[in-house]
């Protein structure tokens, strides 16, 4: 059976939503990153980068949430269009997520909620950037139901991961009309709710 090593954080809800959407059974293994369990020698044999999530599917041991989404989508032929331009649009959003949204949101949350000292410049820098990126998504969503068009895809799952933790980042999504509407649509999916229920059994960030 598929195994997922995870903790209750934005990057980990993504593969869980995907597994639920695909209707796959999986074992969830908690790695408590607040207690340093990601730094053990045993865990670093799975991910030398010492981060969750890690997916194990047979011989495949895979890290990086976006790569896990693509792997599962390609294996099960779902939530990633086969043809361009739609396929390229999904990758465009995945790279935008991994290189833009994820680091900005992660740093904004870290400097506001977890850093051992308050660094106003860092808080301002990353929170402003996170808000700017929400505005980019909000503008994009004026034209479509989902981030790449009218079909739900792994790009929506990736973005949902961090939007689900907007409060940790100090962001009020209700300020973004279209992004809020999209969030409610994705959040209402039964499989998204199943993933949230399961991940909530792990410790929250």
Ligand X SMILES: N[C@@H](CCC(=O)N[C@@H](CS)C(=O)NCC(=O)O)C(=O)O
Q: Contact positions toward ligand X, by CB under 6 A?
A: 7, 9-11, 33, 38, 50-53, 64-66
Separation CA 127–CA 174 (nearest Å):
16
* Residue 57 C-beta: closest distance to ligand X, Å: 16
**Nearer of residues 52 and 180 to ligand X, judged by Cβ:** 52
Beta carbon of residue 150, minimum distance to ligand X (angstroms, whole number): 26
- Rounded CA gap, 186 and 94, in Å? 16
Chain centroid offset of residue 104 CA: 13
Per-residue buried b or exposed e for 73-94, using 16+ beta carbons within 10 Å of the residue's own CB: beeeeebbbeeeeeeebbbebb
Q: Which is nearer to ligand X, 70 or 134 (CB)?
A: 70
Contact 102, 162 (CB under 8 A): yes
Residue closer to ligand X (CB basis): 108 or 180: 108
**CA-to-CA distance for 134 and 173, rounded, in angstroms?**
8
CB nearer to ligand X: give 27 or 95.
Answer: 95
Minimum CB–partner distance for residue 6 and ligand X (Å) = 9
98 phi/psi in degrees, rounded to 5: -70, -35
CB of 66 to ligand X, least distance (A): 6
Which CB sits closer to ligand X, 65 or 93?
65
Q: How far is the CB of 80 from ligand X (least distance, A)?
A: 17
For ligand X, the closer of residues 43 and 146 by Cβ is 43
Instruction: Write down the least CB distance from residue 195 to ligand X, Å.
Output: 15
| Cα four-point dihedral sign 64, 67, 73, 74 | negative
Element (H, E) at 62: strand 60-63
């Amino acid at each position: 059976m598929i195994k997922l090593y995870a903790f209750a954080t934005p990057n980990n809800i993504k593969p869980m939503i995907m597994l639920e959407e695909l209707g796959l059974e999986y074992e969830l293994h908690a790695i408590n990153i607040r207690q340093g369990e990601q730094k053990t020698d045993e865990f670093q044999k799975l991910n030398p980068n010492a981060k969750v999530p890690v997916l194990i599917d047979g011989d495949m041991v895979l890290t990086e949430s976006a790569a896990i989404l693509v792997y599962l989508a390609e294996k099960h032929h779902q939530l990633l269009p086969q043809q361009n331009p739609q396929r390229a649009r999904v990758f465009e959003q995945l790279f935008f997520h991994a290189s833009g949204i994820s680091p900005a949101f992660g740093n904004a949350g870290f400097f506001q909620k977890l850093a051992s000292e308050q660094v106003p410049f860092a808080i301002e820098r990353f929170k402003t950037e996170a808000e700017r990126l929400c505005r980019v998504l909000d503008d994009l969503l004026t034209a479509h139901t989902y981030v790449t068009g009218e079909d739900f895809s792994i790009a929506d799952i990736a973005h949902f991961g961090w939007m689900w933790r907007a409060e940790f980042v100090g962001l009020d999504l209700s300020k973004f009309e279209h992004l809020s509407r999209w969030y409610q649509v994705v959040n209402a999916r039964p499989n998204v709710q199943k993933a949230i229920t399961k991940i909530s059994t792990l410790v929250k960030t």
